[in-house]
Amino acid sequence: MKAFAFLRGVTTLVITLAGLLFITFVIGRVMPIDPVVAVVGDKASQETYARAREEMGLDKPIWVQFGRYIEGVARGDLGQSSSSGQPVVEDIARAFPATLELSVFAIVIGVLVGLPLGVYAAHRRNTWFDHAARFMSLFGYSTPVFWLGLIALLIFYAQLGWTSGPGRIGTAYRYTVQEWSGLLLIDTLRSGDWNAFRSAFSHIILPGLLLGYFSLAYIARMTRNFMIEELNKEYVTMARIKGASETRILWRHAFPNALVPVVTVIALSFGHLLEGAVLTETVFAWPGLGLYITKSLFSADMPAVLGGTLVVGVCFVLLNKATELIYPFLDPRTRAR
Amino acid sequence: MSAAADSLIPNSRREARLIQLRIGLRRVLRNPSTLVGGILVLLLLVMAALAPLLATHDPMAQSLVDRLTPPGAQHWLGTDQLGRDIYSRLLYGAQPTLMIVILVIAFSAPLGLIIGMVAGYMGGWVESALMRLTDIFMAFPRLILALALVSALKPGLTNAVIAIAITAWPSYARLARAETLALRHADFVEAARGLGQTGTRIVIGQILPLCLSSAAIRATLDMAGIILTAAGLGFLGLGAQPPMAEWGAMIGTGRDHIFDAWWVAAVPGIAILLVSLGFNLLGDGLRDVLDPKHHD
């Protein structure tokens, strides 16, 4: 039974990933720009054009092309970026740590603030605390992230001068930091360069807090809903009759039961951060995956756009799969018998 | 529910419906979320409809002498980098926003409902295949898929609508499937089957009406997300093309002047915020009112 469930899980994962590939492949084919012209230029001779077309495999039937595409991706080949001239995989590998650092920073804030906020809002349902928390969430849900980013830059960078502006680290440190993990906060700490660390921190704080706010809005609201559902159940009344303290009821009785949906929400919100990062990175000139995708968009660099899209999609799928794998540890009811 | 409403005993089907409507309406008006949300959404409708009447300037008229004028008596909300009146552009900007929302919902909700209901009713491999497809589309973060699609199709308002619609249908499919699964073996569905109704007729006549209220709530909540995605595309220059007044694109052009002329970007952002806040509040409130599971 266990082996069957595992096999089923693997099959759905493979099908989903193949589907992702098919979508990016199709998007790559419907574009109005001729991919051959994008490579050889529109002044190329007839022979050059034909040869390039053959080399790119565009003369083959569409299914063969799709097969080749999958084969390439499996080998880690996402094509060549037409704007940087580098393999797309290398470009993405360079940009990815920046996005990872920003999203991890944000999700940590989202979880640390959002979880307790949601739990206590559920506990003090319909009090001013609950209403304030709800309004904060709603505001986060409804605000365009790029706009809030611009306003934050205007206030905290330009007016008050509390933080650094766009970018990831001060220009003075850009080439002195020893790359180790690719996450600048860790790398600067590791090399013991305090000034560089301070510079990196004052750069990440604004976009990080901003994205953190958006994820905490989501996490707090969903946690509140799940907790209210649990708190209405009989075992909570039972615990109360037994004389358990409210803190104990909240964290020891109700919260563990709400944990599975809450973890799902956290994973989802991490996925949304990758999305929010596209706009935030553009506003803050943060050299991550999002900025890479938007920059490539404007140079009509389709391999780069699709490669970036695919990587984000795959991250999203794997993240969801990973949460499914930890369910049994969180909730005995989901363990396969 | 008040005692007065309970004591009303309907004498006919029509009267019963009217009383129901009255009770519903009273609940909607009493709920602060729906009330505030409704007012904000109404404001958007009024702005879009009466833009030509309310505008003080031509939204396209450039005047380089007046460029980047701060808000004042002449230009209530200031002017942008081409000297265009922001207040007037804001009013006209309500039109594309409203159009995008309506078109996306009109396309994605029926598509998602059909896919979800067919999957839920048929079961078997049809269900597996359709739901797999739904999962695949859900696997992409919305904005990123929309970005890739728009860039492949060419930037523009129509393509933005197509791209957002393609990313919006899966949530309706999931919802409709869940509802259909719960109803598939309900007595009234079995009865309809026993009377010899075909599958299509059962799905449309018996199941669809029961999916509609949750789909309507979903759609209202979705509208805020659609507005934000559309604004994001506009901001990146992939949505409405200049010189059209569109809120996201207005923020995009205001970005270069954020430090010296903040109002150019700030004003349309507030408009987007208020409108999506309106849809969120309305959706939240409607769920409280319509969905019995959420009643206290």
Residue-wise pLDDT for A200-239, tens only, equals: 888 999 999 999 999 999 999 999 999 998 999 999 999 9
Nearest C-alpha in B relative to A158: B259
Q: How far apart are CA B20 and CA B27, in angstroms?
A: 11
Measured between beta carbons, the chain B residues lying within 8 angstroms of A274 are 141, 144
- B121 interface with A at CB cutoff 8 Å: no
By Cβ distance, the residue of A20, A147, A282 closest to B236 is A282
Rounded Cα–Cα distance for residues B97 and B109 (Å): 18
Count of CB atoms situated within 10 Å of the CB of A192: 8
Any idea which residue has 């999700």 for tokens? Answer: A107
- A282 and A233 in a common domain: yes
User: Phi and psi of B240, rounded to 5°?
Assistant: -55, 140
Burial of A186 (0-12, 13-18, 19+ CB in 10 A): middle
Q: Is residue A2 part of a domain?
A: no
Residue A21 shares a structural domain with residue A140? no
Are A150 and B151 inside 8 Å of each other by CB? no
Rg of chain A over Cα atoms, rounded to whole angstroms, equals: 24
**pLDDT attached to residue A126:** 87
Cα angle at A141 between B33 and B150, to 5 degrees? 125
Is B169 in CB contact (< 8 Å) with chain A?
A: no
Question: Total structural domains in chain A?
Answer: 2
- Tokens 């900025």 locate to A291
Give the pLDDT confidence score for residue A332 in this predicted structure.
Answer: 77
A268 shares a domain with A177: yes
pLDDT of residue B296: 41
Main-chain phi, psi angles of B154, to 5 degrees: 100, 130
Q: Which of B136, B148, B232 comes nearest A279 by C-beta? A: B232
Domain that holds residue A148: 96-334
Residue A314 resides in a domain: yes
Chain A contact for B235, CB < 8 A?
Answer: yes
pLDDT tens digits, B237-289: 888 888 888 999 999 988 888 888 899 999 999 999 999 999 999 988 888 77
A90, part of any domain: no
Return the CATH number at A111. 1.10.3720.10
User: Are B280 and A141 in contact (CB < 8 Å)?
Assistant: yes
| Residue (of B274, B270, B272, B271) closest to B282 by Cα position | B274
Q: Is the same domain home to A56 and A178?
A: no
Note whether B294 contacts A: Cβ–Cβ < 8 A. Answer: no
Closest CA–CA distance from residue B295 to any residue of chain A (Å) = 12
In a domain, A84, yes or no: no
Residues in chain A predicted with pLDDT less than 70, given as ranges, are 1-2, 30-35, 38-39, 334-337
CA distance B232 to B226: 10
Q: How far is CA B209 from the centre of its chain?
A: 20
The pLDDT of residue B1 is 44
Q: What is the pLDDT of residue B2?
A: 46
AA identity, residue B295:
H
HSE (CB half, 13 Å, CA atoms) of B262?
A: 12
Answer whether residue A7 is part of any domain. no
Whether B256 and chain A come into contact, CB under 8 Å, resolves to: no
Shared domain for A294 and A178, answered yes or no, is: yes
User: CB distance A279–B251 less than 8 Å?
Assistant: no
What is the per-residue pLDDT for B247?
94
Around B12, how many Cα atoms within 13 Å sit in the side-chain half-sphere? 3
Residue A133 lies in a domain: yes
Rounded Cα distance between B120 and B251, Å, is 43
Of the candidates B148, B153, B280, the beta carbon closest to that of A309 is on B148
Q: Could you tell me if A182 and A140 lie in one domain? A: yes
Residues A109 and A158 in one domain: yes
Q: Which residues of chain B have pLDDT under 50?
A: 1-5, 295-296
Same domain, A104 and A162: yes
Q: Tell me: do A159 and A198 sit in the same domain.
A: yes
- Per residue in B5-21, pLDDT tens? 455 678 888 888 888 88
One domain, residues A298 and A222? yes
Which whole-number Å values give the CA distances from A87 to A57, A82, A302, A304, B112, in the listed order? 18, 9, 13, 9, 38
A262 and A317 part of one domain: yes
Distance, in Å, from the CA atom of A330 to the CA atom of B288, rounded to the nearest integer, reads: 31
Nearest chain A Cα distance for residue B229, angstroms: 9
Residues A194 and A55 in one domain: no
CA distances from A85 to A34, A334, B42 (A): 18, 48, 51
Residue A270 domain flag: yes
Q: CA of B142: which chain A residue's CA is closest? A: A275
Task: Tell me the DSSP string of A197-264.
Answer: HHHHHHHHHHHHHHHHHHHHHHHHHHHHHHHHHHHTSHHHHHHHHHT--HHHIIIIIIHHHHHHHHHH
| Interchain CB contact of B113 with A (< 8 Å) | no
In a domain, residue A116? The reply is yes
Q: For B57-95, b where at least 16 C-beta lie within 10 A, e where not — what string?
A: bebeeeeeebbbbeeeeebebbbbebbbbbbbbbbbbbb
Residue contacts between A and B (CB atoms, under 8 Å): 144
User: How far is residue B105's CA from residue B172's CA, in Å, rounded to a whole number?
Assistant: 10
Whole-prediction pTM value? 0.87
pLDDT at A33: 63
CB contact under 8 A, A142 and B139: no
Interface test with chain A among B131, B144, B235, by most A beta carbons within 10 Å: B144
Q: Which residues make Cβ contacts (< 8 Å) with residue B146, sequence separation at least 6?
A: B160, B163, B164, B166, B167, B229, B233
Q: What is the distance in angstroms between the CA of the first residue and the CA of the last residue of chain A?
A: 7
Residue to mutate among B33, B36, B147, with most A CBs inside 10 A, is B147
